[in-house]
Structure 1
C-alpha cells in the first residue's frame, strides 16, 4: 500500500491569502517528499471556496516539482471540457519533463453548473468532451503529425512539443465520484482510476471496484497492474481527541464550501448528470463519529488510524493507493505536518 497527499483547498480570501496557502502546500509537499510519500495531487475548480484556489493544477504542481525530488505529481483532475486538447497535452507534457517523469494525469468531467456556464459549454456535452479530450491528448503525446477531427475540435497535422518524458505518455487516471459506468469505461480503456472514498459507502466502493477490475481483465489487461487511488481526509495526532476536534472543524467548513458550490444545481438539469438536480438537497452530512466508524474520514491516534487503514486494505485490497487530504487551508498547517510525520513514522513501515 502506498500513501500520498491531496491538496483540495476549501478557503477563500476571507479565510486565507492565496499566497500563504500555496506556501503551505510547498512546505507540506517538501515534507512528504522527504518522508518517501508516493504522490501529491491537486484539483481543478473555479470561483468558490470549494477548490477555487486551484484553478490550474499544472501551475501548482510545477511549483511543487521545483521543490521536490522523487514524489509523484498528480492532477485530480484536469478538465478536458475547459481546455483545448492541444494546449492541455502541451502543458502536461511540459510538466512531465520539468519533473523528469513524475507526472500522473487524472482527467475529470467536472460537475458544477457555474463552471460550465462561465466557459459557455453545455453540460450535456461533458461526456463527449471528456472522452475526446483524453483520446486527443493520448494521441498528441504518442504520435507525430496528428490529425484530429472530432465533435468539438479539429486540428492537424500537428506534432505536439515537448514530447512527454514518460513514454508513450504519463500514466492516465480517470477520476470518478459516483458513476459505476465511469469505472467500467475506465477498465475497458486500460486507464487507472481515482475514487473519492470519503463520499461512498463500503458496499458502493466494492461494487465499483469489482466492476472496474472485471472490465480491466475482460479487456485483456493484466490483472494487478491497474492503479487505484482512494482519497480520504486524514487527521492524525498523538492526542486522538485533538485529531478528531481538528477533523470535525475541517469537515464542517468543507461542508459549507461544497454546499455553496452545488447550490446552482437546484435550478439546473442535464441529461449527462441524471439526478444531480437534487444534489443541493441531498448534502445531509453524517457527524464525524459516524464518518470515522465507516472509514470515510481517517482521524485519531496513529494506532486508531492504523486500524482504519488495515480495514480499508481488507475491504478494497492491499494494493490500493491512499491519497490523504491533509490540508484544505481551514486548519493550521502544523496539523498537516503532524499528520504527515506520524503517518510516515507509524503507517508507512507497517503498510508500505
Structure 2
C-alpha cells in the first residue's frame, strides 16, 4: 500500500499563518519519517470566515516542504488550472521540479468553487461549466507543449502564443533565430524555461471522479486522484482507466494501479473518542463541499453508489453517519481503521491512499495524535515499519 498525505491543514482564523505553516511542516516531516511517498497540497482562496483558509498556492507550499524534507515527494492536488495563467504554471512547476530534482507530481483539476474562481479570470466562471472545462483542457495542453517543445506555438479559444504582432527590437538577439522569429523580426514561436528536471515532464495527475476523465488519463499515461466513493462507483472509474492504460503500455495493468484515493480519516484512542471528535468537523466539511455544488456531485446524492437509492433514513442522517455507513470516511480506533483499509485493498484493489485530516476546529494536539496512531499502529500492518521501530533500529 502506498501512503500519502493531503497536507491541507486549515485550523481556522484564530491561528497565525506562521504557526499554521509550522504545523503543516511538522506533519509532513513525520509522514516522511513514517515512509510516506508524497505530500500533496491544494489551494483555497478568500476564506473571510476562517473556514478552509488553507494555503492558496500549492506550488509555494511544495517548495517550502521540499526544502525541509529530503526524501518526501511533493505534489499539487490540485492546481485549479482555469484560475492560473498556463505559462506561469509551466515555469513555476518546472522550477519546483528542478529544485526537488524530480520529486514533484503535477496534479490539476477544473475546480468547483464558484466564489473564488471568477475573481481570477472571467472565463473561469463556473456557472458556465462547459466553457470552464474547455479552458481547463486548453491550459493543460499549453503547459505540456511548453515543457516538451523547444519552440512552441498555440492557437486556441482562450490563448494565442506568441501574441501576434510583436517584433523583436533588441539588437542583442541578432542574428535572429529563425525558430523563434520571422524574417521581419516578428515573434513566431516561444521557448519556456526552465525545462523540467523529469523527462519529459513531471508525472501528471488529473483529479476527478468521472469515468471519462479516468479513461482519458489512462490513454495519456497519467495518474488520477479521486475522492473516496462506493465500491461500484469506484470500479466504474477504475476499469476504463485500467483498460486504457493496459492498451497504451502493452501490459496487463493491475486494477487500482495509477489511482490515488483521497480519504478523510481519524485514528482515535477509542471508537467513542474518534466519533465524538470528528462528527461535527466532518459535517461542516461536507456541508462546505455540498455548498460548492448545491445541485451536483457533492450533495448526498453524489455519494450514492451505482444503483443505490436514497432512503428516508439516509435523508435524516447527518453527513458523518451517511458517509461512515458507506465507508467513504474512515474514523475509529487503530484496529478499526486498519481493518477498513485492508477491506478496500482486498475487495477493490486499493493500492494508494491519500489521507487527509482537513478538520477545522479540532485541536492540533488531536490531529497530531491521530497521525501518530496511524504511523505506529496502522501503517506497519501494510509492510512499512513504524517510526518507533525505525528509531529502535537506528539506535540498536
User: Is 1:173 matched with 2:172?
Assistant: no
Change (3 A) 1:329 1:24: farther
User: Is 1:205 matched with 2:234?
Assistant: yes
Query: How far off is 1:106 after superposition?
Result: 0.6
Q: How does 1:86-165 map to 2 (within 5 A)?
A: 86-118=87-119, 119-121=121-123, 122=125, 123=128, 124-156=130-162, 157-165=189-197
Show the counterpart of 1:272: none
Q: Which has the higher contact order (CA 8 A, sep 6+)?
A: 1
How many residue pairs match? The answer is 335
Q: What SS does the aligned partner of 1:8 have?
A: coil
Show the counterpart of 1:67: 68
Relative to the length of structure 1, the TM-score reads: 0.86
Equivalent residue in structure 1 for 2:279, among 248, 252, 264: 248
Query: How far off is 1:80 after superposition?
Result: 1.7
Alpha-carbon distance in structure 2 between the residues aligned to 1:347 and 1:251:
21
Query: How far off is 1:292 after superposition?
Result: 2.9
Do 1:96 and 1:164's aligned partners in 2 also have CA atoms closer than 8 Å? yes
Q: What SS does the aligned partner of 2:380 have?
A: helix
Relative to the length of structure 2, the TM-score reads: 0.77
Show the counterpart of 1:295: 327
Alpha-carbon distance in structure 2 between the residues aligned to 1:280 and 1:316:
24
Do 2:58 and 2:76's aligned partners in 1 also have CA atoms closer than 8 Å? yes
* Uncovered stretches (5+) of structure 1, i.e. residues with no partner: 267-274
Alignment deviations for residues 18-74 of structure 1 (CA, whole Å, 9 cap, x no partner):
333222111111111122111111212322456443321111111111121111111
Query: How far off is 1:161 after superposition?
Result: 1.5
* Uncovered stretches (5+) of structure 2, i.e. residues with no partner: 163-188, 303-314, 384-396
Query: How far off is 1:8 after superposition?
Result: 3.5
Alignment deviations for residues 250-277 of structure 1 (CA, whole Å, 9 cap, x no partner):
2023134335x52xx56xxxxxxxx63x
Change (3 A) 1:258 1:182: same
Alpha-carbon distance in structure 1 between the residues aligned to 2:370 and 2:231:
24
Change (3 A) 1:327 1:335: farther
Change (3 A) 1:50 1:204: farther
Do 1:173 and 1:192's aligned partners in 2 also have CA atoms closer than 8 Å? yes
Largest Rg, 1 or 2: 2
Q: What SS does the aligned partner of 2:206 have?
A: strand
